Amino acid sequence: MEWQRHWTRVRERSESAADGGGSGIADLEKELADWLRRQCTGYGTLHPEQHRLLTKIGITAETARAAQPPAPRVGPGLLDTALAQACTYAAEYGHIAAPISTVLNGFPLGKWLAWQRRRAGQGRLSPTRAEALTLIDPWWNPPWPLQWQQAYHHLRTAATGAGGVSATNLPRGFCRWIRVQQESWEHLHPGQQDLLTALSITPDAVVGERPAPATRSYPASPGLDHARAYAARHGHLTPDKHTRQDGFPLGRWLGQQRRKARAGVLSTTTIEALTALDPWWNPPWPYTWHRTWQQYRPDTPRATRWITAQRQAWPLLHPAQQQLLAALGLNPDGPGPAASD
């Protein structure tokens, strides 16, 4: 409905300009101008009926393609420079899970790596370039959130001694992060488990002192009641961040609970209540992946690209991700399900 409202407003402005009144599309306010740019950028993922409606306001496949910003230049010179800077970064830090703001010797390495990960997620990164980056860092594009990978490397840097993580000299925040990994061990990707094990972190390893149990009781959050109502209606807890349930900002609240859970500060009672409603309310893989799986609809351009990307990355996926895809009838080799599935 929001898409339809924006389209109607742009159409009215277009018709007004054609009749000699108003300022026309060229002088749209920022909200509508941004909406038009998004339609051009994501034109290939839209429904055919949306294409038909956009044609009425002058946006065709050709005009959408012409309006899209050019992709970063990928000539041999730039590629050589990018890979050289990635090697320099890896030599200093031991990885290339660089923040997007990273600039090395004047080169925007963080943005370039983010672009490569985005292309890989779309199934558009060349195998040669993917292999070159994998040689620099096998986990340059992990199937789990990049924030997890960065937190792991911060911990690895802080670890002391050849035996792995020091049990006494780590800041409290690191100890808390380790305990979160231990408590959610069975949900971690095998690759994550291997990385942690290399630092002598296992489910039973003792790292730091566990906090004393809370002695003060707090009332249950009102978000739980709204979460129950949403889960009863939709069967999951994977809403958009803007979702409201009976006026309550459920999407934003759930995002806060996920951040607290990953930081190890969410109460066990809340975790158990949310897990009972949806076992994958806080998945160990990117939340955007889980929303795409939840909203999967076959026979759309976006679904086709997404399926291709999953098959290419199949060996790197979490076993539970593979099971979720199999529940949709997808596998690493065979065709996807028919539209009637």
∠ Cα 313 317 318 (to 5°):
180
3-state secondary structure of 85: helix
3-state DSSP assignment of residue 248: strand
The pLDDT of residue 26 is: 59
Give the pTM: 0.50
**What does the alpha-carbon distance between residue 288 and residue 230 come to, in Å, rounded to a whole number?**
19
Contact in structure between 314 and 332 (CB atoms under 8 Å): yes
What is the rounded distance in angstroms from the CA atom of residue 21 to the CA atom of residue 220?
A: 56
Which of 36, 122, 99, 84 minimizes the C-alpha distance to 302? 122
**Nearby residues of 123 by Cβ (< 8 Å), 6 or more positions away:** 305, 308, 309, 312
Output the pLDDT for position 110: 92
Inter-axis angle of helices 76-93 and 127-136, to 10 degrees?
A: 20
245 forms bridges with which residues in the sheet?
248
Q: What is the pLDDT of residues 52-90, one digit of tens each?
A: 898 988 888 888 877 765 544 445 577 888 999 999 999
Percent of the chain residues topping a pLDDT of 90: 20
Report the chain (341 residues): mean pLDDT per 10 consecutive residues.
86 72 60 82 78 88 74 61 92 91 90 91 85 92 90 82 58 83 86 89 74 52 88 90 90 90 80 90 85 81 82 84 87 58 39
Q: How many CB atoms are closer than 10 A to CB 34?
A: 12
Identity of the amino acid at 33: A
Write down the pLDDT at residue 210: 47
What distance in Å separates the CA atoms of residue 33 and residue 41, rounded to the nearest whole number? 12
What is residue 284's predicted lDDT score, i.e. its pLDDT? Answer: 83
User: Got the DSSP string for 10-53?
Assistant: HHHHHHHHHTT-S--GGG--HHHHHHHHHHHHTGGGS-HHHHHH
How far does CA 295 lie from the centroid of its chain? 15
pLDDT at 68: 62
Helix (H) or strand (E) holding 142: none
Residue 185 corresponds to which tokens in the numbers above? 């061990």
Report the distance separating Cα 226 and Cα 272, nearest Å.
16
Q: Check if the beta carbon of residue 310 is closer than 8 Å to that of residue 330.
A: yes
Find how far residue 167's CA is from the centre of its chain.
32
